[in-house]
Amino acid sequence: MKNLKLFPHKFKKIGWLLLLPNLVIGILAYVYDWQPHWLEVETFGIVSGTLFSSNEYFTFTTKNILYEIVVFFGVIGAVLVGFSKVKEEDEISMSIRLNSLAMATYINYAMIILAFLLIHGMVFINVMIFSMFALLLLFIVIFHIQYHRFKNTFAHEK
């Protein structure tokens, strides 16, 4: 099996340091509609607009960038956690990684199909935004559960 290009193992710690705080801040900001005023800045956008306005192209807009910061660092953290080598990377861990990614993809798209059928209106947009992160987060959870199960089974056989 051709090796997947993974980040070195030490990047996993950096990933957790980026992912966890941004995940917590993002959830709290969404639930409590929190946007610190000091993050109101003028940003450049290729396309900008709201639901009931026409689009503007190549403009500057004043907005709160909390979500941009959280998404940027959260996604980088999740990618580093999900795609950094385990301490002893081998074909078995690669196989577990591939199976976990497939399972996460199946679950994520099953949730998207259910949301498409059962959730309507503007709430659907929020569900689609969360689905961007769900694939990576599901992959991380499934991979770590499967990998630890394998390690525990293998340790008991020794």
Residues 6+ apart with CB under 8 A from 57: 46, 47, 48
Percent of the chain at pLDDT exceeding 70: 96
Residue 74, pLDDT score: 96
119 touches 127 (CB < 8 A):
yes
More confident call, 95 vs 122: 95
Question: Where on the phi/psi map is residue 94: left (φ > 0), alpha (ψ -120 to 50), or beta?
Answer: alpha
Residue 157, pLDDT score: 63
Question: Where on the phi/psi map is residue 152: left (φ > 0), alpha (ψ -120 to 50), or beta?
Answer: alpha
Cα separation, 23 vs 72, in Å, equals 11
75 touches 133 (CB < 8 A):
yes
Counting Cβ atoms within 10 Å, is residue 83 exposed (0-12), middle (13-18) or buried (19+)?
buried
Mean pLDDT for the chain overall: 91
> At how many degrees (to 10) do helices 122-157 and 91-118 cross?
150
Cα separation, 13 vs 90, in Å, equals 20
For residue 66, CA distances in Å to 34, 41, 132 come to 9, 10, 17
Q: What is the per-residue pLDDT across 18-67, written as a single tens digit (0 to 9) for each?
A: 999 999 999 999 999 999 999 999 999 998 887 777 888 999 988 999 99
